[in-house]
Structure 1
Amino acid sequence: MPGIRTAAQAKAWLEHQGKSVQAFAREHGVDPATTYQVLAGRKKGRRGEAHKVAVLLGMKEGIILAENEPLRQEQEILP
């Protein structure tokens, strides 16, 4: 990814694609309310669904694991 998007850039990116937040959430199978909260900065995207939303919006680097997929050693991030 060339860079991390700010919330304003993520909103502009959605608008550029002609997608609403609702459509983005449906397309990616995430909760629309969580998506709005991440875009508003009320959720930072540190874990769970908010993490997934932030990564999908390009607001954060990270990986998205399937619900029951274990973390493999090569996926771990070491300090």
Structure 2
Amino acid sequence: MPGIRTAAQAKAWLEHQGKSVQAFAREHGVDPATTYQVLAGRKKGRRGEAHKVAVLLGMKEGIIVDEPIAQYRDPDVIA
């Protein structure tokens, strides 16, 4: 990625692609309200879905983990 985008740059990037925030959210399977909040700066994208949105918009470097990592379980222990 050439650099981290600001919120204004991310909005311009969406507009350049001809995509609404709603369309972007649907395309990536994220909540549109969270996407609007990240773009408005009300959510910083530190964790959870806001993190995913910020990474997808190029506003933050990071990885997206779709499923939580399962806790280690000892197969010898019966739950």
TM category (shorter chain) comes to 0.7 to 0.9
Could you tell me how far apart the structure 1 residues matched to 2:66 and 2:32 are? 19
Q: What RMSD in Å do the two structures reach over aligned CA positions?
A: 1.2
**3-state SS in 1 of match to 2:24:** helix
1:1-79 mapped onto 2 (5 Å cutoff): 1-68=1-68, 70=69
Q: Which runs of 4+ in 1 moved over 2 A?
A: none
**3-state SS in 1 of match to 2:30:** coil
Percent of aligned pairs with the same residue?
93
Aligned length in residues: 70
Could you tell me how far apart the structure 2 residues matched to 1:56 and 1:4 are? 11
Larger Rg computed on CA atoms = 2
Could you tell me how far apart the structure 1 residues matched to 2:37 and 2:26 are? 16
Could you tell me how far apart the structure 2 residues matched to 1:67 and 1:33 are? 21
Report the TM-score when normalising by structure 2: 0.85
Point out where structure 1 has 5 or more consecutive residues left out of the alignment.
72-79
